[in-house]
């Protein structure tokens, strides 16, 4: 098996892990409010990534290159220059804020009753939104992307808009989530070439955990019994979807085309529907299934429509879900 095939299979596994995470979030919504759920899952993700940070640093230091002098890759935080520390902390803070918004909007939408599969497809709108926002920086967009936007809009209409042109509150939260994760991807795309990605990911999880736990202490009431009831979904969402999923993404993307990588990872929306059906018994209407198919078509076309000058950045560590 060549490296490219192995990498694509790892990314397919990543998409499966992320898709099932929507089910974990759905199950946890019955016991935990959005802030406490995300605070605990992000704390678990940060703790689980600490060994990865340690071992990758150790390996990179043994293979020191000139690039580490610029980006700080493979350099311990204590040995980073002030400029490297500033870039790492600023990138982590920006990513942490956007991740907080995306994860809270996502979990709030699920808590309001949006099914796991439906949530997965609405969240995947970031695949279409990212290249569109490139227009703000003067990047050209292929005509295929406009077709993808139109198809995705039809899919979103079928999936979310009810009679009388009303939209469910949970669905509106998921749309805000898609915009937030779009911002997260763009922030990651800006900072990832300039700093150590794994360190930044670990710190962003920690920042999101702190922000969510503070907000939970102010606005929510949680008991130990609530946490125990959602322990398995928490462990899955924090360790598997967060730390494991992100690490697999980092490892696999080194050996495959980024456009193909984004396409494979966007299949998390399909796995979310399948997992919701197989595990929770979720049933979508014919109209909603047609909406899912339309959005999937838009996602695939969006990959083809992002031209070289506005190449689509990789999907976020899916904690998103």
Residue with tokens 């609405």: 122
When pLDDT is cut at 50, 70 and 90, the band that residue 90 belongs to is: very high
pLDDT at 21 over 70: yes
Query: What percent of the chain shows pLDDT beyond 90?
Result: 32
How much is the mean pLDDT over the chain? 81
Question: Tell me: the pLDDT tens digits for 156-190?
Answer: 778 777 666 678 889 899 999 999 988 888 888 78
When pLDDT is averaged across residues 234-259 and rounded to a whole number, the result is: 79
The reported pTM is 0.81
Label residue 89 exposed, middle or buried (CB < 10 Å: 0-12, 13-18, 19+). middle
Percentage of the chain modeled with pLDDT above 70: 81
- Residue 22 · residue 120 · CB < 8 Å: yes
Predicted confidence (pLDDT) at residue 192 exceeds the cutoff of 60:
yes
First-residue to last-residue Cα distance in the chain? 30
Burial class, 179, CB count within 10 angstroms (exposed 0-12 / middle 13-18 / buried 19+): middle
Q: How confident is the model over 268-302, as pLDDT tens digits?
A: 878 888 888 888 888 878 888 888 888 788 777 76
CB 268 within 8 A of CB 15: yes
Contact 52, 160 (CB under 8 A): no
| Helical packing angle, 82-111 and 34-62, nearest 10° | 150
What integer pLDDT is reported at residue 317 of this predicted model? 45
Instruction: Find all residues with CB under 8 Å of 223, minimum gap 6, and list them.
Output: none
Please tell me the total number of residues recorded for the chain in this structure: 321
pLDDT of residue 164: 62
315 — pLDDT class (breaks 50, 70, 90) = very low
Handedness of CA 130, 184, 18, 289 (dihedral sign): negative
Q: Could you tell me the CA-to-CA distances from 53 to 68, 84, 113, 125, 198 in Å, in that order? A: 15, 16, 37, 31, 6
pLDDT tens sequence across 110-157: 999 888 888 888 887 877 787 777 677 666 667 777 787 788 778 877
């Amino acid at each position: 098996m060549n490296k490219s095939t192995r990498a694509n299979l790892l990314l397919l596994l990543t998409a499966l892990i992320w898709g099932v995470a929507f089910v974990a979030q759905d199950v946890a919504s019955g016991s935990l409010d959005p802030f406490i759920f995300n605070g605990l899952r992000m704390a678990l993700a940060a703790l689980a990534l600490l060994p990865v940070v340690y071992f990758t640093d150790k390996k990179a230091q043994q293979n020191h290159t000139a690039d580490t002098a610029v980006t700080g890759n493979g350099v311990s935080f204590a040995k980073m220059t002030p400029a490297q520390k500033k870039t790492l902390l600023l990138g982590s803070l920006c990513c942490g804020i956007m991740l907080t918004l995306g994860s809270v909007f996502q979990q709030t939408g699920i808590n309001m009753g949006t099914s796991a599969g439906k949530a997965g497809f609405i969240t995947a709108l970031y695949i279409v939104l990212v290249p569109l926002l490139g227009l703000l920086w003067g990047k050209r967009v292929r005509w295929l992307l406009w077709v993808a936007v139109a198809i995705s809009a039809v899919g979103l209409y079928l999936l979310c808009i009810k009679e009388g042109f009303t939209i469910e509150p949970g669905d509106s939260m998921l749309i805000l989530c898609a915009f937030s994760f779009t911002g997260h991807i763009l922030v990651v795309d800006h900072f990832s070439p300039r700093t150590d990605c794994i360190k930044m990911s670990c710190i962003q999880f920690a920042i999101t955990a702190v922000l969510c736990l503070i907000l939970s202490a102010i606005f929510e009431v949680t008991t130990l019994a609530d946490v125990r009831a959602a322990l398995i979904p928490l462990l899955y969402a924090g360790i598997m979807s967060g730390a494991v999923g992100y690490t697999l993404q980092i490892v696999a993307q080194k050996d495959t085309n980024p456009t193909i990588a984004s396409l494979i990872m966007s299949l998390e929306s399909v796995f979310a529907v399948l997992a919701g059906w197989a595990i929770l018994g979720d049933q979508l209407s014919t109209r909603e299934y047609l909406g899912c198919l339309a959005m999937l078509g838009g996602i695939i076309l969006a990959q083809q429509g992002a031209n070289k000058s506005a190449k689509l950045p990789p999907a976020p560590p899916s904690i998103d879900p």
